[in-house]
Amino acid sequence: MSNDLMEIKEELIREKYTAAESLLDGFDHTPRLAKPKAGAAPAKERSPGIGTRRRFRSTTPGLVTKSTARAEGVHIINRVQENDDSTVLMSPMQANVLHSLRRALAVSMVVADQFADHTGLSQLLKDNLEGGLAASRKSEFTELLAASSVISLHVFANMASYLLANAHADASDVNVEVGEVEEVLTDNAQLALTGALWELDQDLAIFATSEDKLVPTVTAFLEQLMEKVSLRASNMPRLDAFTSVNYRVEEDDFQISGFMPSARGNSSKLTMTFKKPNEIVGNHIAKYQAMKLAKMIMAYDFDRKLNPFVELGGFIFTFMGDGKPGTGKTILIQMMAGLINDYCNNAGYPFRYQNLSTESIDSYQGKSAQNAKAFFNNVIDPNVIGFGTIDDIDQLAGKRGDRQSSAGQLEITAVLMESFAGANTVVRGNCTFGMFSNYPENVDDALRQRAGARFLVDGPQTREDYIDILHILMGKNHKIPVGEHELFETQQIKRAVARSFEAHSKPQEDGLIRVYEDTTKQLGKLDTLAKIGTYLDNIQNVDERFTGRAIKNITDAIKVRAMDFELPDEWMENPDLFLFKDYDTKKNMIGDLSVPITVDMVLQEINRYADSEFRYADKSDEVAIENMVREYGRQEEAKKRYLKGKK
């Protein structure tokens, strides 16, 4: 177990089972923020004539509450059993749902108790019960109660969702939309749980009309609850005692890391056609970086929940692959996913691949954002090796200020921007995200600049490239001689990459060439940080989008070059040589392979990045001009036809 994990002892969890069962059996609650839903009648008694346990009452010391209970109560157990014809026995699925809810409630109560002990809330509750709470501490008392409430709600929803996902991953393809959760109360942890269960009871009554809808309804509610609680917690004080500690429930292999949802560490089923590196012609830098990144991800340490490459520098969390149609973006995805999949299979690691497609754009307000967030959370799960792709991102994510962008596209843009480089983004090094586009100039500038690396996918470029790709695609059903050509001689990766990097020693885009020539004419060879900094400033004077984020992306790329090596193939083939080593050993082994940063590396990466930005800007302006010219032409033709018709 990692040293930064605090174990939640099993005996403490089981001590809370009685209180959790009482909540599920029955309690009274008067809604304060939400309204009862039409058609959500009280749950029917399952065994008429047999008495049930008394309804749940407040057991939190230090809280004295007035009873505003309705005559009818909330009975989750009875409600869960309503969706089948049996009057006595539960189905295995119903029993599992209730067991998952009970265990999640118990764990949330334990975490709330530990939070109260660590923050002094326990003593404040005692003082309040005895009537001795100082007036100067009432504000602190209220804030801690609110913090305890959102912690209880998140842990409950997070763990219940995790347990149900584990037990019912393939149970149903039914999709249920329960809508926004409204009864999120922050008076105290106990009232928060009863409010959430009251609303769950309402949703079960409306949506769980058959057993195949039971788990989808519960999980949909839990996801909405987590989202609402996370939003509420984002601007609340006194949460450090919870967010600064990682908890673990050993028996369930469940980890609590702040308000981050925890998905089950299982692999996704891949049906794509994998490609080998030797099946890709051209695209030397993109192919080389993809191969390096596939091995980098495998250095992730599941105990420490961290990758040594993140600590040492040089890990690529997000990258942009752009090029003309047909130059090989799809085949690059297939190659990288295939490499990671094979490495994970060999090491026994769970691998999860997911693509965010245009199907994620939804006309229902907020649903597109929810789809994008679910995609991100699924890939970033610290219990798996993840690879997320966003193909044709120019169609999927809207460009702010563009009247052609739909509300759903703009929602996806906002989520991706926050997820890739937001205040709460945690880069562990277990996953990477690739954005791909034929028209990167149509991608929102701020979103595009969140791509830490640029992969120019330019396809075959030379005579040798075209002969090699023709040979591959022709297959073996012919006897046509190759002729005067050494097959794949120019595709040797190290030589090809060296040539590609060297080509960026000077800029390639016209606009950047002028800046480079003016700077070198003024300063001479760019061989000091001061001269290079002047070059960067001159670029910014020409392109105002060349901001501090661009400099960060460039320095990250330089650090990647300092790690300009591929982890040996034998380290992937025999996991004992590297993958199964402890974190510090892997870190030292990687450090021994790193190379010093040189001036050439710095200039090449500046030019590579700036070239791409100038290329995007030129294309964007040209496209805009062409569209305006076309529109003026249409207006002129329409005017001629109109005047002709008036005669």
Is the pLDDT assigned to residue 605 strictly greater than 90? no
Same domain for 242 and 282, yes or no, is no
Q: Strand 453-456 vs strand 431-437: parallel, antiparallel, or unpaired?
A: unpaired
Range of the domain at 98: 92-263
Asked if residue 334 and residue 204 are part of one domain, the reply reads: no
- Give the pLDDT band of residue 51 (cuts 50, 70, 90): very low
pLDDT at residue 55 in the model: 46
Q: Which amino acid is at 58?
A: S
- Using an 8 Å Cβ cutoff, are 80 and 98 in contact? yes
Two tokens, residue 404: 């052609």
Q: Are residues 329 and 230 in the same domain?
A: no
Q: Are strands 351-355 and 385-390 parallel, antiparallel or unpaired?
A: parallel
284-321 burial, b for 16+ CB within 10 Å, e for fewer? Answer: bbbbbbbbbbbbbbbbbbbebbbbbbbebebbbbbbbb
Where are the strands (E) in 391-504, listed by range? 431-437, 453-456
Do the domain assignments include residue 29?
no
Q: Are residues 537 and 392 located together in one domain of the fold?
A: yes
Residues 284 and 317 in one domain: yes
Mean pLDDT of the chain: 81
Q: Is-contact 37 205, C-beta < 8 A?
A: yes
Q: Are residues 190 and 115 in the same domain?
A: yes
pLDDT over 70 for what percent of the chain? 82
Task: Judge if 285 and 412 occupy the same domain.
Answer: yes
The answer, yes or no, to whether residue 173 has pLDDT greater than 70, is: no
Same domain, 331 and 413: yes
Please give the single-letter amino acid code of residue 40. Answer: A
For 80, residues 6+ apart whose C-beta sits below 8 A from its C-beta are 90, 94, 97, 98, 204, 208, 214
Q: How far is CA 156 from CA 194, 197, 204, 407, 437, in A?
A: 12, 10, 17, 32, 40
Q: Are 605 and 551 in contact (CB under 8 A)?
A: no
Q: In terms of domains, do 215 and 322 share one?
A: no
Q: Select the highest-mean-pLDDT range: 65-69, 81-85, 496-500.
A: 81-85
Are 532 and 602 contacting, i.e. CB atoms less than 8 angstroms apart? yes
The neighbouring-strand residues paired with 434 are 319, 389
pLDDT at 615 over 80: no
How far is Cα 521 from Cα 535, in angstroms, rounded to an integer? Answer: 11
Q: In degrees rounded to 5, what are phi and psi of residue 479?
A: -125, 30
Q: Is 66 part of any domain?
A: no
The pair of structure tokens assigned to 504 is 């960026």
Give 269's Cβ-side CA count (13 Å radius).
3
Same domain, 205 and 290: no
How many angstroms separate the CA atoms of 129 and 123, rounded?
Answer: 10
DSSP 506: S
SS3 content of the chain, % helix, strand, coil (to 5): 55, 5, 35
Number of domain units in the chain = 2
**Does residue 555 carry a pLDDT above 50?**
yes
**3-class secondary structure, 16:** coil
The verdict on 240 and 312 lying in the same domain is no
Above 80 in pLDDT, residue 155? yes
Q: Are residues 353 and 208 in the same domain?
A: no
Residue 576: how many CB atoms within 10 A of its CB? 9
570: burial class by Cβ within 10 Å (0-12, 13-18, 19+)? exposed
- The 10s digit of each residue's pLDDT in 411-434 is 888 889 888 887 778 899 999 999
Give the pTM.
Answer: 0.58
Does 34 map to a domain?
A: no
Contacts of 217 (CB under 8 A, 6+ apart): 176, 178, 203, 204, 207, 208
126-141, pLDDT tens digit by residue? Answer: 999 888 889 899 999 9
Gap between the terminal Cα atoms of the chain? 87
**What CATH code is carried by the domain that includes residue 434?**
3.40.50.300
Fill in the amino acid letter for 393: I
| Cα–Cα dist 172/170, whole Å | 6
What's the sign of the alpha-carbon dihedral 490, 492, 494, 497? positive
pLDDT band at 68 (very low <50, low <70, confident <90, very high): very low
Query: 248 by DSSP, 3-state: which?
Result: strand
A 10 A CB-CB count for 131 gives 7
